[in-house]
Structure 1
Amino acid sequence: MEDIERLTEDYRVAVEARWEEYRALHSECVGVAQQARERAGEARVELEARAARIEAQARAALEEERERGEAAKRRAARLPELAGLLARLV
């Protein structure tokens, strides 16, 4: 009977030790998962900010190009007038 009690106690101690190992691993996994979520959130914020900067640069470049196009149209509209003035000079 003592053998059974000793084996039962040994088994209980082994199970408790294994349970503590599993709890420690679980806690570590939870911590790693939390860090991963935080890093993913930080990366998302960084990428969104980067995308906003790129979008602002693209908008500025488009506006600059639009202004250049309008200036070219204004110059082209004056060509007939300038051609007439040149014809009078010659």
Structure 2
Amino acid sequence: MVTIAYFAWVRERMGTAEEVVHLPADVNDLAALLAWLAARDERGARAFAEPERIRAAIDGVMTGDGVLLGGAREVALFPPVTGG
């Protein structure tokens, strides 16, 4: 099981701050995770329609598309952060 935490407009589109899920065996990296989340339902389709806009941290460490999820306990998903 892995906890998926959603932030900012990703959280708004998903309708929840986090969820605990069992990932299918073929969901082994960030790109596959985003595709799986988008395919599950309408909320996911809206939240992850542009996966290139999503940033992620796996177990508290910022990561990119090619990083394997491995034994991740938490994946945090959020839009790009801008300062001001």
With normalisation by structure 1, the TM-score equals: 0.15
TM-score (structure 2 length as normaliser) = 0.16
Larger fraction in helix: 1
Which structure is richer in relative contact order (CA contacts within 8 A, separation 6 or more)?
2
The structure with the greater share of residues assigned to strand is 2
